[in-house]
Structure 1
Amino acid sequence: MRHTPHYLLHDHDEIRRLVRENPWVTIVSHTADRGIVASHYAFLLDEAASTGDEIVLVGHVGRPDEQAHELGRHEVLLIVQGAHGYISPSWYAEGDIIPTWNHVTAHLYGTPEILTDEQNLKALAELTDHFEQHVVNPRGLHLDPEYSRRVALGTVGVRVRVTRFDARAKLSQNKAPEVVERIIDELEGDGPYNHPGLAREMRRHHDARDS
């Protein structure tokens, strides 16, 4: 990403929160056979392992993506995209005409560890349970263990221990407080570019900065 020091995100807790809230991840590999390969899968934060400065993600890919990405042979990039949206200059002070795009984004780097079949099955069960906990009649892999085990064989589980990251929270830090409030109001409103999630992210960031 473009080097913008005033938007840099260094806080490991904030990176962990971003992963928790945005589990749909883009995996990018620079491979020997295919060049650049990209795929999209759900990843969860390994809460037990992600303490202190450690950030560990667990997920899976469908076969044969593990071969396409050459998983386990080299470093991969995991892109985690948080709230983002268009910011109209009509929300700025008079005479300010340049629009922008606010966003929270993290690039996470690490070499994947391939899980065993049993570890992968456990990770898939936890992934399903993580999302099913919010529905009225949740379903899980435990309801049919043998069928779940067969289906799991079509996937490859991976654990990625993040060795470095490059993250940005570009949330109108260069604007005056009254302009920031107007942007948040517009994002919370009913206009064509409303985005309550981005408004919450902006308010959270600016409240923390001002406290």
Structure 2
Amino acid sequence: MARYDDLSALFINCSLKPSRLPSNTQGLMDVSIGVMAANGVKVETVRAADLEIPPGVQPDMREHGFANDAWPDLQKKVMAADILVIGTPIWLGDKSSVCTRVVERLYGYSGKLNDKGQYDYYGRVGGCIVTGNEDGAKHCGMNILYSLQHIGFAIPPQADAGWVGEAGPSPSYCDEGSGGPQNDFTQRNTTFAAWNLMHFARMLKDAGGVPAHGNLPQAWKDGARFDHPNPEYR
């Protein structure tokens, strides 16, 4: 079996609660974290609500009118990790406002290039974990995974996992009697997602990232057309 002890993973919990309060999203994220840690992956978890992250789509919003911005330091953690997992609760059928802001700030860095000349997120893998007691888990997963792949992350098969309890006021994932920690479908999918993220990160690391042909912005700007069927289009 492959080794994973040279990989690192960053989990960003987009709960509305700061870390001094318990998070149901963290409860399910901990399953994925446990799988990765058992295989030697270096894992770090960040609670986004603990940080002062202003809105915007620029790398550093202090340069755009805000007094403080914790995002640049968090961005360094994103870039240092082989795996990024975003966790969110469901509110009104959608990802949390904190999660939306995290995705926006990730997008603000998407124009940067790596040493090969590709977009800088290339070579990293992304996944998500969703919890709630209302409909919307698949909607949130589609939104987050689309956003991650759009800016350059590789998305493995079954890279999302979620738990949704009974609709309406009902026990949340970590509450006694919720059934979440005993739900075979959720526990299986969370485990599979963790392994698929590790597998893809292993393959990309061993391959030196995504091949740098056909995806270089500057080369396209300079006139390369990478086998486009009509290279003289106007």
| Alignment TM-score, normalising by the size of structure 2 | 0.21
| Alignment TM-score, normalising by the size of structure 1 | 0.23
Larger Rg: 1
Q: Which has the higher strand share?
A: 1
